[in-house]
C-alpha cells in the first residue's frame, strides 16, 4: 500500500507562482517502474492530466496548456514529486491531485494510476 500527501496549495494572484509537493509513503513504491502524475479537477469539470514523471528515467510529460509554465521534478531520496507552477492563470484554479502507478503506459490516463492523494486547492484570483 502507498499513501500520497499533497501540500503547497493556496491563493495566488494572476501571474504568480506556487510550488506543490507530493510525498510518497510506503515500501511498495518501485523506483524503476513507478510513474508519478499530477492531475487537477475544477468544479463541475472532469479530472484532467497536468504533468507526469517516470521515476527511473525522469522523463516528463505535460498537458499542452501548462507547457512552458509548469515543471515537474522528483527527489529520489525524499520520495517527493514537486510541481512548480509559474505564470498562473484563473483557469488553473482547481484541486490538484498527485497519483502514482506501476508500469504506466499512457501517463495522461488517470485509470493507469493506482494510488491517489487527497488533493490540495489552488485558487488563482484575477
pLDDT tens track of the chain, all 126 residues? Answer: 999 999 999 999 999 999 999 999 999 999 999 999 999 999 999 999 999 999 999 999 999 999 999 999 999 999 999 999 999 999 999 999 999 999 999 999 999 999 999 999 999 998
The per-residue pLDDT for 95 is 98
Position 94 scores a pLDDT of 98
pLDDT reported for residue 82: 98
Contact 27, 4 (CB under 8 A): no
State residue 14's pLDDT score.
Answer: 98
Q: Determine the 3-state secondary structure of 90 from DSSP.
A: helix
C-alpha distances (whole Å) from 49 to each of 9, 36, 63, 77, 126 are: 17, 11, 6, 25, 23
At 105 the pLDDT is 92
Strand bridging mode 10-13 / 120-125: parallel
Amino acid at each position: 500500500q502507498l499513501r500520497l500527501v499533497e501540500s503547497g496549495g493556496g491563493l495566488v494572484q494572476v501571474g504568480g507562482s506556487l510550488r506543490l509537493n507530493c510525498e510518497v509513503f510506503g515500501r511498495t513504491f518501485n523506483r524503476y517502474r513507478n510513474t508519478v502524475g499530477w492531475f487537477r479537477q475544477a468544479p463541475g469539470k472532469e479530472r484532467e492530466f497536468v504533468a507526469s514523471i517516470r521515476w527511473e528515467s525522469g522523463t516528463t510529460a505535460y498537458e499542452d496548456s501548462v507547457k512552458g509554465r509548469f515543471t515537474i521534478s522528483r527527489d529520489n531520496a525524499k520520495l517527493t514529486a514537486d510541481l512548480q507552477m509559474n505564470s498562473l492563470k484563473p483557469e488553473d484554479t482547481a484541486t490538484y491531485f498527485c497519483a502514482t502507478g506501476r508500469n504506466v503506459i499512457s501517463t495522461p490516463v488517470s485509470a493507469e494510476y493506482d494510488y491517489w492523494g487527497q488533493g490540495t486547492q489552488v485558487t488563482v484570483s484575477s
